């Protein structure tokens, strides 16, 4: 009885796909299957870095920048101090150190900008007087 039911369903086309012709296994192996490929992922290292407020990253970059500064690697220090100011735009100490490093690299314009930002953020700090003198002498 079961065989008769399967045979009748088979002949009626329920179990047999109507739109696909029969293929032998050798025919299936001969044609390579083409699959749609997803577009390649963008290289993450090429994307611009996005900065959100992160005081811990800013502190870390300041420490590393101070290390580079002490070793005489002023370019490395400048990069780290800039990173610190991007992680925390209100980090006065990072702007002060950035100004000092820029001064060592003889970039007075960048040093002036960093010192001005420092004074904007910390006008009553103990270094404010010496920074004001530096700004006055750079003009």
> Would you state the pLDDT for residue 7?
58
Rounded to whole angstroms, the Cα distance separating 20 from 41 reads: 35
> Would you state the pLDDT for residue 125?
94
Task: Give whole-number Cα distances, 91 to 33, 58, 119, 127, in Å.
Answer: 58, 8, 11, 14
Rounded to whole angstroms, the Cα distance separating 58 from 94 reads: 8
Closest CA to 74 of 82, 44, 130: 82
Rounded to whole angstroms, the Cα distance separating 20 from 7 reads: 19
Q: Where are the domains of the chain?
A: 53-138
| pTM of the entire predicted model | 0.67
Structure tokens of 102? 């820029």
Q: Which residues of the chain have pLDDT under 50?
A: none
Q: Percent helix, strand, coil in the chain (nearest 5)?
A: 65, 0, 35
CATH architecture of 53-138: Alpha Horseshoe (1.25)
> Would you state the pLDDT for residue 100?
97
């Amino acid at each position: 009885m079961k065989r008769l039911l399967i045979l009748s369903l088979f002949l009626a086309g329920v179990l047999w796909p109507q739109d696909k012709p029969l293929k032998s296994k050798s025919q299936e192996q001969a044609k390579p299957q083409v699959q749609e490929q997803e577009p390649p992922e963008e290289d993450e290292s090429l994307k611009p870095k996005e900065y959100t407020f992160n005081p811990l990253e800013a502190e870390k970059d300041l420490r590393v920048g101070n290390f580079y500064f002490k070793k005489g690697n002023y370019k490395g220090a400048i990069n780290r101090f800039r990173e610190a100011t991007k992680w925390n735009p209100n980090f006065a100490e990072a702007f002060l150190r950035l100004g000092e490093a820029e001064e060592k690299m003889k970039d007075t314009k960048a040093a002036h900008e960093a010192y001005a930002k420092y004074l904007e953020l910390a006008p009553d700090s103990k270094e404010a007087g010496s920074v004001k003198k530096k700004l006055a002498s750079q003009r």
